């Protein structure tokens, strides 16, 4: 290690969460200016942004959450796992746009934890990233999250501690819009997951194995067992999962929900998996996609949609006579799960592989093809600042990197309040990465500058993706791959407000 590197590291070591420090602006395309101050989670700017968000007399919703260990039934499979309140998914939290949500978390796990409110542009000190926005919540202790919920839509929450997301620690967070509801009659939340915990290993053991085996461990292509996807342009996952789930159930014993024929049902689809994208469709029924990642899009018809890890899609279907499955097919894997929609007096046995094969023939809508509704579209302009995010890996020890570096919370990509920011992501790997940004909903710049508003977007192997956002939520914000193993192995960076 050179002397220069030592000094460089030492300077960063003096930085605590919320502290101020001098940072260089080397990676920035705007003229470098040395001598800037980080806007940390406890800075006055964060408190000001929160009070600007909060309406006088905003309603408050209080929830108690217990993160616990115990046996959960996944539909014919019993597992000893970690969950919120002993159920998988955890109980949904439902609020209205503008409400103040207060969640008292009690950590009864044998490890420290945290909660990240995925997709919400909330106050930075409540974002739930240990080491960046808060301290870990130690075992046998409590932490209270409290924040204004700024936007309506379909969200979820999960820990941001190690690979805990790949246990049963996730639940939907639905934010109702008082102005919504005219174009559907009822709704159904469906959370998708890939499951290995408590079957043959824990997620921590799975990560250890990946790291021990490094690049060779996944045996992509040679073993035949690893998932591949033409649509996603390469490898579709790094692990073999014994089960995939829809609302916590395997295909053998699916959940069902009752709807009358002719009812328009808004499906709120959430992918909470760690390593699996899903194709979702309702055989014989067209879907009208209305939102992605919480934000409205120009309504778009589809038979099947692709949903990567961390992405959400809302789509309205009109209930036919009888019963139909909502099928979720794990991309590149021979696995699927379903939730059954059925008329009050009908029954339905789980569908077989024929229905899956039929759905696999249909065109798949990718979320980046969608277009933001006019009222939420970010008008394109010349960016004030551009940051490249070059995605690489895996290395010898299963290292995944952004810009050639492992995650370093003290070495962020600097931006300033009010800037129009562009992130230019380039995927130099052979696998897709669902890239997620905390605290903002960016505008994907697809062809002709059109695209959806999203917080998580698939970047395909060998391809690039530009996303733009307005820097209007001060703080230190993670951007990372939502494959939880990639993120944990280094594919994370910080978008850092400075002044």
Binding site for Cu ion (CB under 5 A): 433, 481, 483, 486
Answer yes or no whether residue 438 interacts with ligand C2O by CB under 6 A.
yes
- What 3-state class would DSSP assign to 245? strand
Site mask for ligand C2O (CB under 6 A), range 140-159, x = bound: ------------------x-
Judge contact between 285 and 344, C-beta under 8 A.
Answer: no
The alpha-helical segments, DSSP class H, found in 88-202 are none
Structure token digits, residue 406:
């492992």
- Of 290 and 483, CB closest to Cu ion: 483
User: Cα separation of 321 and 330, whole Å?
Assistant: 27
Closest CA to 479 of 14, 203, 118, 43: 118
Nearer Cβ to ligand C2O (297/484): 484
φ and ψ of 385, to 5 deg: -150, 140
Report the C-alpha gap between 71 and 265 in whole angstroms: 32
Tell me the three state secondary structure of residue 423.
strand
**Considering only 182-190, 372-380, 460-468, 478-486, which stretch makes contact with ligand C2O by CB under 6 A?**
478-486
Residue 212's contacts (CB-CB under 8 Å, 6 or more residues apart) are none
Binding residues for ligand C2O restricted to 299-338, rule: CB under 6 A: 310
- With CB under 6 A as the rule, give the number of residues binding ligand C2O: 10
- Supply 422's token pair: 């562009």
Q: Quickly list DSSP for 251-266.
A: TTS-EEEE--TT-EEE
Q: Which does 486 bind (CB under 5 to 8 A by kind): ligand C2O, Cu ion, none?
A: Cu ion
Rg of the Cα atoms in the chain: 22
d(CA 119, CA 35) in angstroms, rounded, equals: 32
3-state secondary structure of 368: helix
- Cα separation, 26 vs 248, whole angstroms: 46
266 binds, among Cu ion, ligand C2O, none (CB under 5 to 8 A by kind): none
Using the rule CB under 6 A, is 422 a contact of ligand C2O?
Answer: no
CB of residue 337 vs ligand C2O: minimum separation in angstroms? 20
- Of the two residues 232 and 265, which places its CB atom closer to Cu ion in the complex? 232
Our CB check for Cu ion shows the closer of 270 and 481 to be 481
- Beta carbon nearer to ligand C2O, 307 or 478: 478
- Shortest Å, Cβ 491 to Cu ion: 5
CA dist., res. 128 & res. 134, Å (int)? 6
Given the complex with ligand C2O, which of 156 and 336 has the nearer CB atom? 156
Specify the residue, 132 or 351, whose C-beta has the smaller distance to ligand C2O: 132
Tokens of 41: 């989670």
Question: For residue 324, which of 234, 259, 231 has the smallest C-alpha distance?
Answer: 259
- Of 157-186, which residues contact ligand C2O (CB under 6 A)? 158, 160
Least CB distance from residue 454 to ligand C2O, whole Å?
Answer: 13
Among 480, 491, 495, 498, binds ligand C2O (CB under 6 A): 480
Least separation in angstroms between CB 130 and Cu ion: 20
- CA–CA distance, 58 with 459 (Å, rounded to integer): 38
Task: Restricting to residues 237-276, name those near ligand C2O by CB under 6 A.
Answer: none
Residue 436 as a binder of ligand C2O (CB under 6 A): the answer is yes
Region for 398 from its dihedrals, namely left if φ exceeds 0, alpha if ψ lies in -120 to 50, beta otherwise: left
Burial class from Cβ neighbours inside 10 Å (0-12, 13-18, 19+) for residue 160 reads buried
List the structure tokens of 79. Answer: 């597992």
Site for ligand C2O in 88-127 (CB under 6 A): 116, 118
Q: How far is the CB of 328 from Cu ion (least distance, A)?
A: 20
392, β-bridge pairs: 401
Query: Least distance (Å) from Cu ion to the CB of residue 402?
Result: 10
Task: Single out the segment in contact with ligand C2O by CB under 6 A; choices: 144-152, 291-299, 366-374, 477-485.
Answer: 477-485
Could you tell which of Cu ion, ligand C2O, none binds residue 243, using a CB distance below 5 to 8 A set by kind? none
Q: Which is nearer to ligand C2O, 117 or 251 (CB)?
A: 117
Which one of Cu ion, ligand C2O, none is in contact with 433 (Cβ closer than 5 to 8 A by kind)? Cu ion
What is the contact surface with ligand C2O in residues (CB under 6 A)?
116, 118, 158, 160, 310, 436, 438, 478, 480, 482
């Amino acid at each position: 290690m050179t002397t220069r590197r030592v000094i460089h590291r030492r300077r960063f070591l003096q930085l605590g969460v919320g502290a101020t420090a001098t940072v260089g602006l080397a990676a920035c395309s705007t003229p470098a200016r040395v001598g800037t101050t980080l806007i940390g989670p406890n800075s006055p700017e964060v408190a000001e942004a929160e009070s600007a968000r909060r309406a006088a007399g905003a309603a408050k919703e209080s929830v108690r959450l217990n993160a616990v260990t115990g046996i959960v039934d996944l539909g014919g499979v019993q597992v000893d796992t970690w969950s919120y309140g002993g159920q998988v998914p955890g109980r949904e939290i439902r609020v209205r746009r503008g409400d103040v949500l207060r969640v008292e978390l009690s950590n009864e796990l044998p490890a420290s934890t945290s909660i990240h409110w995925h997709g919400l542009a909330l106050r930075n000190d409540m974002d739930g990233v240990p080491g960046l926005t808060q301290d870990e919540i130690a075992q046998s202790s409590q932490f209270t999250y409290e924040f204004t919920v700024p936007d309506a839509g379909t969200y979820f929450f999960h820990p941001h501690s190690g690979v805990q997301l790949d246990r049963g620690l996730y639940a939907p967070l639905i934010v109702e819009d008082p102005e919504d509801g005219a174009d559907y009659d009822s709704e159904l939340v469906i959370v998708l997951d890939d499951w290995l915990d408590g079957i043959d290993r824990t997620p921590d053991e799975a990560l250890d194995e990946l790291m021990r085996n490094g690049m060779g461990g996944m045996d992509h292509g040679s073993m035949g067992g690893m998932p591949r996807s033409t649509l996603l342009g390469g490898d579709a996952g790094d692990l073999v999962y014994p089960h995939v789930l829809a609302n916590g159930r395997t295909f053998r014993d699916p959940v069902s929900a009752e709807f009358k024929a002719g009812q328009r049902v808004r499906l709120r689809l959430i992918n909470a998996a760690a390593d699996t994208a899903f194709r979702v469709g309702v055989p014989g029924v067209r879907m009208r996609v209305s939102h992605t990642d919480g934000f409205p899009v120009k309504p778009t018809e589809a038979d099947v949609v692709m949903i990567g890890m961390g992405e959400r899609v809302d789509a309205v279907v009109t209930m036919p006579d009888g019963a139909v499955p909502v099928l979720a097919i794990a991309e590149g894997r021979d696995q699927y799960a379903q939730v059954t929609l059925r008329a009050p007096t009908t029954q339905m046995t789980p569908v077989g592989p024929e229905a899956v094969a039929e759905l696999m023939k249909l065109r798949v809508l990718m979320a980046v093809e969608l277009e933001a509704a006019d009222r939420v579209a970010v008008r394109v302009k010349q960016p004030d600042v551009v940051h490249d995010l070059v995605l690489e890996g895996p290395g010898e020890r299963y290292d995944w990197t952004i810009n050639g570096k492992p995650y370093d919370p003290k070495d962020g990509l600097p931006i300033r309040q009010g800037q129009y920011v562009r992130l230019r992501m380039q995927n130099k790997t052979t696998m897709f990465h669902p890239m997620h940004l905390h605290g903002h909903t960016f505008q994907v710049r697809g062809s002709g500058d059109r695209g959806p508003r999203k917080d998580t977007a698939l970047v395909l192997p060998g391809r690039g993706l530009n996303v733009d956002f307005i820097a209007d939520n001060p703080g230190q914000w993670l951007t990372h791959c939502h494959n939880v193993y990639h993120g944990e192995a280094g594919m994370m960076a910080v978008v850092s407000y400075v002044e």
